[in-house]
Amino acid sequence: MSDPRRPGRPPIDDAGVERVNLTVAANEYDKAASIARRDGVSVPEVIRRGLHRYLSDDPDPPQGN
C-alpha cells in the first residue's frame, strides 16, 4: 500500500532487486527512446531488456569502440 504523503512510484518489495543509475550518450538515449515508443514500453524497460539479453545470450563482452 502506498503512502499518500510520498509522491512517485511505490517501493519494490523484492529484496533481490538493485537500483542502478547510469549515464548514456544523447544518441544512445534517443535510440532507446525510439525503441521504447515503437514497443510501447519505457526507456528503463528497453535498457533492462538489453541488459538481460547481453548477460544471457553473449558471454563475451564487446571489444572497444
49 exposed, middle or buried (CB, 10 Å; 0-12, 13-18, 19+)? middle
pLDDT given at position 18: 84
The residue extents of the domains of the chain are: 26-53
pLDDT given at position 65: 43
The owner of cell 524497460 is 45
Give the rounded distance of the alpha carbon of 3 from its chain centre. 25
Confirm if 32 and 47 have CB atoms less than 8 A apart: yes
What pLDDT tens digit does each residue of the chain (65 aa) get? Answer: 555 666 666 666 667 778 889 999 999 999 999 999 999 999 999 999 999 888 886 656 555 54
